[in-house]
Structure 1
Amino acid sequence: MTTDRRTAPHHNNLTCYTDYRCRRPECVERFTTWQRNRLQAVADGTWQPFIDAAPVREHLRSLYAAGLTIHRVSELTGIDWNTLRLYTQPAVRQGRGMIRRTTAETQAKILAIEPTPSLPGRVDPTGTRRRIQALVATGWPLKELGPHLAIQPDNVRRILARGQRVYGTTAQSAAKAYEQLRDSKPQRHGVTDLAIARARRHAKQNRWAPPSYWADRMDVIDDPDFEPLYGVSRREIVAQDANWLMRTNGLDRATAAARLGISKAYIDHAFRDHPEYALGTAA
């Protein structure tokens, strides 16, 4: 009888060993060192047991409400953001529950962060862009969002069109506006039905995910490495995967299909529906 092992999302702390049973030599050594130090601290009477994480959880929520992103808090504390998110919500897709107890050291690091710390000059634009896109998907025209974001409408368009970093104050304003407007109907703010329809159509054409999509993914809305698959059909995903397998490994369609656990006919249909992915692949 075999037991499935989940793959650790990272190898930066003890969770890969304790929660995912990772046995990389460096991870085993990290755990062994921690255990040795813990036992020595117990013997010396200096060991600090785990404490209730409720104060940490409430403080993190106040930081997020003030506009700080989880990645910004991670930068300020030196704590991996994957760990931080478990203080406020469980990682359902990874099968991990919310952190209920923590160390005094971790608590001190998090409680030391003020709700309104000095913001960096420029930050990654991913979260700001996704929040704006989500609001457009609910019917908010870009020109109407400008005042809520405290920036000019043309600057809103530039944020969506360019990959450059945005000011920390802009990211904070976008986060606040998103929390205020995500459940608010644009009609209540004087936006016309025609403008709402145009905004929604534009968002649909660009596959911009609405707030309902991000509702249980707020832990990754700021993560540039997370790829939203909103509005992407299974056939398009298959076409993408098959294209990658065939180009990088030199496989034909039949072999790629076997790798993906589908029929060759399904790949044929996927490429027919999405011919842009059929380019540069073998028959």
Structure 2
Amino acid sequence: MTTSTPARTDAEPVRRHIRALYAAGFTDRRIAALAGIAPETVSSFTRPINRAGNRKGVKRTCTTDVAAKILALRAEDALPGLVDTTATRRRVQALIAIGWPIEHVARHIGMTGNHLRLAMGRPRVYGRTAQAVAAAYDELKNKRPHRGGVSPIEAAKARRRAEARRWPRPAYWDERMDVIDDPHFEPMYGVTRRLIIAQDANEVMRFSGLTREAAAERLGVSKAYIDHAFRDHPEYAVEVAA
């Protein structure tokens, strides 16, 4: 008994349509939920590098069933009245990280800085706000702030603010659009190995009562590495034995 192979079609029109949906404020999870397919299926059209960092070829074909489901989606028909704020907040933060003050981002979408701050602090925002921020994000992420009227002092202040809060830049999210709207995903941006070791050693030593030598052996590093990690991040050296 033989089984038929699903018919396939060119993936490029689907890829262009997905990017248009991104520009309208959609994410992989939103597209997947509306189309009734897996988020990984959506992300495979636009990101040749997966979340594990493995290079994969650009998808050239897809099944006609998947193509039909995605191409049937229309931004104006499917964008809900209220959406989770996570993706909107992260897009604004990413723009701030490359030098766009929130006032300039807000002005770009027809809002005041205070109104955009308030929106980012709420659990849900209007779909039209999410759409406007997504469109601004796609336009501004590749544009230098000074070309948009941002002074060097303003841009530097915005970048320092984002750096202090470890807000990822657009380049970080470009490879993680499938989780930009996931509130359970924690961006590991600007986190060094020493910081991770300092955090892990602190936890191991406090809860297991291990010495630095024993903690180092458990974590697979040298005691000297833990010493350096604690010197770099003294807040994690508190309440642990020498």
Please state if 1:77 is matched with 2:29: no
Q: Report the TM-score when normalising by structure 1.
A: 0.73
Select 1:230's aligned residue among 165, 189, 196.
189
Cα RMSD for the two superposed structures: 2.7
Q: Deviations over 1:179-222 (max 9, x none)?
A: 11112222223223332232222222222222343344444433
SS in 2 for 1:102: strand
* Structure 1 partner of 2:162: 203
Deviation at 1:244, TM superposition (A): 4.1
Q: Which residue of 2 aligns with 1:181?
A: 140
Mapped to 1, the partners of 2:173 and 2:106 lie a distance apart of 21
Question: Structure 1 counterpart of 2:146, which letter?
Answer: Q
> What SS does the corresponding residue of 1:116 show, helix, strand or coil?
helix
Shift in Å at residue 234 of structure 1?
2.3
**Aligned position for 2:80:** 120
> Does residue 225 of structure 2 align to residue 278 of structure 1?
no
- Of the candidates 125, 140, 144, which is equivalent to residue 104 of structure 2? 144
Q: Which residue of structure 1 aligns with residue 225 of structure 2?
A: 266
TM-superposed CA distance for 1:154, in Å, is 1.0
* TM-score relative to the length of structure 2: 0.83
Which runs of structure 2 are paired with 1:49-128 in the superposition (5 Å)? 49-92=7-50, 93-128=53-88
Shift of 1:135: 1.4
Q: Which of 155, 164, 172 pairs up with 1:213?
A: 172
Q: Deviations over 1:150-201 (max 9, x none)?
A: 33311222345x3622222221111100111112222223223332232222
Give the % identical residues.
Answer: 51
What per-residue deviation string (whole Å, max 9, x for no partner) do you get for residues 115-153 of structure 1? 322322332222211211121122222222212133331
Q: Which amino acid aligns with 1:121?
A: G
Decide which structure has the larger Cα Rg and report it. Answer: 1
Indicate the SS of the match to 1:117: helix
Distance 1:178 1:254, change over 3 A: same
